[in-house]
Amino acid sequence: MLSLRAPPRTLSASPWRRRGRLDGFAAPRCVSAAPPATTLETATARSAGVSFPILVNGCTGKMGVSVAEAATSRGLHLVPVSFSSRENLDKTIQVGDTDVEIYGPSAREDVLSSVIDEYPDVVVVDYTAPDSVNSNAELYCKLGVPFVMGTTGGDQQLLYKSVQDSENYALISPQMGKQVVAFLAAMETIAEQFPGAFSGYRLEVLESHQAGKLDTSGTAKAVIACFEKLGAVFDMERMVKIRDPEQQLYMVGVPEEHIEGHAFHLYHLTSPDDSVSFEFQHNVCGRSIYAEGSVDAAVFLYKKVQSMDPKRIYNMIDVLQEGDMR
């Protein structure tokens, strides 16, 4: 019986639990966070024609530092400044040869203005926290600095409005991993072409991330929106969010070395009469695909700004469609 009638946020009847970790759930084999040297050489050569300053906001966090490292590996100039939610942190973070100085909220407007004076073609990449999405975006828009918003959550409608009103350039996406972006693009295409094809189907969604993740998966929300266009019924209250390392290890099957950094997603659809079911999964260990994708996003946005492209607000599907993801 595949129908899931679990109460909200319990795991007792989840497909992950019912099957156990080895039956039908293929956790990815562990991969090294660093891409192989040949890949890096190719990537550096490819970005050689495009070099510009990049400021990564959120370098005290895991994605921020990963993106900063990927940017320097790709030959971009890392601006030695990043912001924190904490005042008077008096901290620097070393990324390659660069000492990135961390500033608190009260300094951010002055510091960012000085950065823009010194590096007029700077692109900002934001990996901070859901509750800073809107205030950070407002600041980037106020100062007219193009930005990639990798941070999820916040008020997404307001985020788009801020960019639209300011006519700033921005690339906004809850998902930077090339293959997951391709899956999302496929979902959007199916939803566009066959609205209602899954009319009446029940949708169940489980997502597992490292315990420190504050919000619900932004990627899951985007995929759910597609299933809803297809006619599936989903109650956001019933989303199963797994943040407990024990459950991740023993039930979900996350490799132990990736408990601190993983994103596993499972979507299960059942027909109204229970006779048909579908299941989709995307399971990522580590953060390298997001870091590389974020640099692709920054390069893409930089080129759009330089060519004064009229579109101004982009997402990762635009980057993928233009063949700009490595």
Ligand X SMILES: O=C(O)C1=N[C@H](C(=O)O)C[C@H](O)C1
What are the E-state strand segments in 22-80? 53-57, 77-78
Closest among 45, 101, 103 to 78, alpha carbons compared: 101
Q: Quick check: 150 binds ligand NDP (CB under 6 A)?
A: yes
Question: Do the bridges between strand 277-285 and strand 262-270 make them parallel or antiparallel, or are there none, so unpaired?
Answer: antiparallel
The one catalytic residue in 209, 258, 262, 268 is 209
Choose the one of ligand NDP, ligand X, none that binds residue 151, judging by a C-beta under 5 to 8 angstroms depending on kind. ligand NDP
Q: Quick check: 82 binds ligand X (CB under 6 A)?
A: no
Name which position in 57, 219, 270, 288 contacts ligand X (CB under 6 A).
Answer: 219
The residue at minimum Cβ distance from ligand NDP is: 61
Report the residue number, 16 or 83, with the smaller CB distance to ligand NDP: 83
Closest among 110, 238, 302, 42 to 319, alpha carbons compared: 302
Tell the smallest beta-carbon distance from residue 124 to ligand NDP (Å): 11
Closest among 261, 298, 253 to 15, alpha carbons compared: 253
Query: Strand, coil or helix: what is 266?
Result: strand
Q: Quick check: 294 binds ligand X (CB under 6 A)?
A: no
Q: Quick check: 217 binds ligand X (CB under 6 A)?
A: yes
Query: Which range, of 38-46, 110-118, 169-177, 302-310, touches ligand NDP by CB under 6 A?
Result: 169-177
Structure tokens of 276?
């048909």
Query: Which range, of 53-61, 112-120, 247-255, 265-273, touches ligand NDP by CB under 6 A?
Result: 53-61
Choose the one of ligand NDP, ligand X, none that binds residue 85, judging by a C-beta under 5 to 8 angstroms depending on kind. ligand NDP
Q: According to CB under 6 A, which residues from 69 to 98 bind ligand NDP?
A: 83-86
Q: Is 213 a catalytic residue?
A: yes
Q: Quick check: 58 binds ligand NDP (CB under 6 A)?
A: yes
Q: Is 303 a catalytic residue?
A: no
Q: Quick check: 128 binds ligand NDP (CB under 6 A)?
A: yes
Main-chain dihedrals φ then ψ at residue 8, nearest 5 degrees? -55, 135
Closest among 108, 106, 168, 156 to 130, alpha carbons compared: 156
Closest among 211, 247, 232, 259 to 10, alpha carbons compared: 247
